[in-house]
Amino acid sequence: MADKDNADFNTTQQAPNLRSNLADMLTAQIESGDLKPGQRLPTEQAIMTATGVSRTIVREALAALRAKGLITTRQGLGAFVSNDPTPRSFSIIPNDLQSIDEVLRVLELRMGVEYEAAGLAALRRTQEDIERMQDRLDALDKALEEGGYGAQEDYAFHRSILVATHNSYYGRLFDTFGNIMVPRQWARLDKMTSAERKRHAARMRREHHAIFAAIRDRDELAARRAIRSHLSKSAARFEELRDATA
């Protein structure tokens, strides 16, 4: 593991509950995408050296991650991040979103979650969070500029906001949506003229940049307003589409 990750490990040494702290730190790295699916974790000895904790603590922390389905172990090779490291007891699947009314219900739920998350992210975000959000925002801009839907990039940006709350439950809840939170079949970009697509891309960029700027500037109220405005406008566009196709 890189030195940067070892630096994160070093914060574990002073924790009152070493196993829980180590497990939470690894979980956060997996959920943020810093540790990617299929990536090999450091050896037990490397983690012990970096943190100063005992082998027993390391093994207990890894066992906790295995129980959650976040990592798998391979005989003689070590521990790896699971290919699908997100355990789900509740999920939203494409078949749930076959009508615009269902999409609107999901947006309503997202608004309740992300409104609070944006405010917390503005208060708690670190420089690393800002860099991650900027990276996700750049990817979304590129997808929109190339005329794509940007669904996966949109999802990744919004998820980076939840990661910035430093409350892992937000990220876990958001994972129930996956990147189908706004189904591609309802985006209707193929029905737009070239000018309409450009206006759509410009609007999307403007709304997402406003959210990012507020969180970057630690403006809690502006972050909440920006995310509510963005999701409310999305809902309004779907309502217009529903009425037009009724």
pLDDT tens for the chain, 246 residues long, are 444 444 455 444 444 456 668 888 888 888 888 888 999 999 999 999 988 888 888 988 898 888 778 899 888 888 999 887 665 556 665 555 667 787 888 888 889 999 999 999 999 999 999 999 999 999 999 998 887 778 889 989 999 999 999 998 888 888 776 666 655 555 566 677 778 778 888 999 999 999 999 999 999 999 999 999 999 998 888 888 788 776
CATH of the domain at 166: 1.20.120.530
Separation of alpha carbons 158 and 142, rounded Å:
16
Domain boundary among 81, 103, 135: 81
Domain boundary among 81, 115, 134: 81
Identify the pLDDT of residue 117.
97
Domain boundary among 81, 102, 121: 81
In a domain, 87, yes or no: no
Looking at the structure, do residues 169 and 128 belong to the same domain, yes or no?
yes
Looking at the structure, do residues 105 and 224 belong to the same domain, yes or no?
yes
Separation of alpha carbons 56 and 48, rounded Å:
10
Number of domains in the chain: 2
Looking at the structure, do residues 145 and 169 belong to the same domain, yes or no?
yes
Looking at the structure, do residues 119 and 201 belong to the same domain, yes or no?
yes
Looking at the structure, do residues 16 and 77 belong to the same domain, yes or no?
yes
CB neighbour list of residue 26: distance below 8 Å, 6 or more residues apart: 35, 41, 61, 65, 70, 71
b/e map 222-244, b = 16+ CB within 10 Å: bbbbbbeebbeebbeebeebeee
Separation of alpha carbons 22 and 119, rounded Å:
27
Q: Which amino acid is at 206?
A: R
Separation of alpha carbons 23 and 65, rounded Å:
7
Looking at the structure, do residues 108 and 173 belong to the same domain, yes or no?
yes
Looking at the structure, do residues 62 and 168 belong to the same domain, yes or no?
no
Looking at the structure, do residues 24 and 133 belong to the same domain, yes or no?
no
Looking at the structure, do residues 48 and 135 belong to the same domain, yes or no?
no
Looking at the structure, do residues 63 and 101 belong to the same domain, yes or no?
no
CATH of the domain at 33: 1.10.10.10
Query: Which two tokens mark 10?
Result: 């070093």
Domain, as residue range, for 22: 3-81
What pTM was estimated for this model as a whole?
0.63
Contact (Cβ atoms closer than 8 angstroms) between residue 31 and residue 172:
yes
In a domain, 177, yes or no: yes
